[in-house]
């Protein structure tokens, strides 16, 4: 996290790019920092909206969550991505790098350009809980209504995206209500229950980072191990609540490669003979190893290790990489379970006499679960190859996006 002294020093060192509001005198409250990142070339109208958003958001956060000290620096960058429409994935990676560079807790990348929609018809904002970064486009709001209307609609979108970064899910009665179009309509606030959930989550975020403590290891391997021990429960919670099983729904080549290989295996007598020759315990070990190898293949084949880059060992960067790898592993494991159940159903429907003949198990009962494991395991092996045929940005977006709103 950005401590109070470094927060104040940042204003001097990054003169002209960061504007930090004055911090309150209370020193007993943990500091939470949210960087608002904009293109240095944004017009004065957008800069004025950003300053208003910073002031209004800071005031509302102090009111809603008084147990924390809030710092919301505005960061103007000349190297802000310049595509049109803006790719939210590029902005998320850019914002994540700045979060690590400046030692911030969260980053919101704000642009006046429209965003590229990957999974919906249009998109105004994209939060990424994994990267603790969000993207907001105010292009549509700038084309609508009066300045007051524009500002209220931008505030609602911002609080919705921040709510996801703070660990909230959708709710029909608060600003977390999903909307197709963001306007000035109520509600623009979180519920009392949501504020309590946010406070509990931020208490963990506000703790000193591992690299800020004396016990931080210098070895990368030991540092990763320390993060796992220190943040194990939090990491597991984030990985398991990501809904990674939905990953396959957005990856056509990944799914196609798996389907073709499964069909080929079912029609190949050699596959059944090989399955019969592998012992059950060996098959369990082989299945686990193939899941690990398939995850590594996709992780490095899609250049996912570049997410959360840092020049030195930093807890935020390590957390991002662990969550990304863990989410990918859980996604493949859930896919294996689906393949196992589908294979089990198909084996049950096929004639036993044919399958027994192919497997060379004459006079023995057909172990359906054993052969379903074979099909699922080799299906995962094929899917890892098919996954590397996917465009790098598509797979990254599936893993990194929390939603498109």
Give the pLDDT confidence score for residue 12 in this predicted structure: 32
Percent of the chain's residues with pLDDT above 90: 27
Percent of the chain's residues with pLDDT above 70: 85
Give the pLDDT confidence score for residue 50 in this predicted structure: 94
DSSP per-residue codes, 287-330: HHHHHHHHHHHHHHHTTGGGTT--SS--HHHHHHHHHHHHHHHH
Please report, for the chain, the start and end positions of each structural domain, with discontinuous segments joined by +. Answer: 4-207, 220-400
DSSP per-residue codes, 170-209: --TTSTTS--SS--SPSP-S--HHHHHHHHHHHHHHTSPP
Q: Are 373 and 98 in contact (CB under 8 A)?
A: no
Residues 378 and 259: their CA atoms lie apart, in Å, by 11
Q: Are 170 and 178 in contact (CB under 8 A)?
A: yes
Q: Look up the pTM and report it.
A: 0.80
- What is the biggest distance separating any 2 CA atoms in the chain, rounded to whole angstroms? 83
> What residues in the chain have per-residue pLDDT under 50?
3-26
Residues 218 and 13: their CA atoms lie apart, in Å, by 27
pLDDT tens profile 173-194: 899 988 777 776 778 899 999 9
Looking at residue 140, what DSSP letter applies?
H
Give the pLDDT confidence score for residue 79 in this predicted structure: 93
Assigned CATH class of 4-207: alpha beta
CA 355 to each of CA 245, 259, 317, 336: distance values in angstroms, whole numbers, following the listed order: 31, 20, 50, 22
Residues belonging to the chain: 405
Residues 72 and 19: their CA atoms lie apart, in Å, by 8
Residues 77 and 330: their CA atoms lie apart, in Å, by 36
Give the pLDDT confidence score for residue 16 in this predicted structure: 36
Bridge-based pairing state of the strands 133-137 and 74-77: unpaired
Give the pLDDT confidence score for residue 309 in this predicted structure: 67
Give the pLDDT confidence score for residue 27 in this predicted structure: 53
């Amino acid at each position: 996290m950005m401590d109070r002294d470094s927060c104040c020093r940042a204003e001097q060192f990054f003169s002209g790019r960061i504007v930090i509001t004055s911090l309150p005198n209370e020193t007993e409250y943990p500091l939470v920092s949210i960087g608002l990142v904009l293109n240095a070339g944004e017009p004065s109208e957008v800069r004025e909206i950003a300053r208003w958003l910073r002031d209004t958001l800071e005031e509302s956060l102090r009111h809603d969550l008084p147990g924390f000290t809030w710092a919301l620096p505005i960061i103007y960058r000349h190297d802000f991505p310049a595509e049109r429409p803006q790719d939210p994935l590029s902005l998320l990676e850019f914002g994540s790098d700045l979060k690590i560079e400046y030692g911030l807790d969260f980053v919101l990348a704000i642009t006046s350009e429209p965003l590229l929609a990957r999974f919906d018809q249009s998109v105004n904002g994209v939060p990424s809980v994994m990267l603790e970064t969000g993207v907001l486009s105010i292009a549509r709001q700038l084309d609508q209504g009066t300045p007051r209307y524009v500002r209220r609609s931008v505030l609602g979108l911002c609080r919705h995206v921040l709510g996801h970064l703070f660990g909230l899910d959708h709710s029909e009665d608060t600003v977390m209500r999903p909307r197709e179009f963001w306007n000035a309509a109520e509600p623009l606030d979180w519920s009392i229950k949501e504020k309590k959930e946010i406070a509990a989550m931020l208490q963990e975020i506000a703790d000193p980072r591992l690299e800020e403590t004396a016990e931080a290891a210098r070895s990368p391997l030991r540092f990763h191990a320390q993060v796992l021990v220190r943040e194990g429960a939090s990491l597991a919670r984030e990985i398991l609540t990501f809904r990674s099983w939905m990953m396959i729904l957005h990856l056509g080549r990944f799914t196609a490669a798996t389907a073709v290989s499964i069909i080929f295996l079912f029609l190949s007598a050699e596959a059944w003979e090989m399955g019969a020759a592998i012992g059950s315990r060996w098959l369990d070990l082989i299945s686990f190893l193939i899941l690990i190898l398939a995850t590594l293949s996709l992780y490095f084949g899609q250049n996912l290790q570049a997410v959360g880059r840092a020049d030195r060992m930093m807890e935020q960067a390590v957390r991002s990489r662990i969550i990304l790898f863990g989410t990918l592993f859980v996604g493949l494991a859930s896919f294996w379970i689906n393949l196992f159940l589908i294979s089990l159903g198909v084996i049950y429907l096929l004639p036993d006499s044919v399958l027994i003949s192919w497997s060379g198990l004459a006079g023995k009962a057909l172990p359906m679960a054993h052969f379903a494991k074979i099909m699922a395991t080799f299906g995962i092996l094929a899917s890892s190859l098919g996954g590397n045929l996917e465009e790098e940005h598509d797979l990254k977006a599936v893993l990194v996006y929390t939603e498109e709103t």
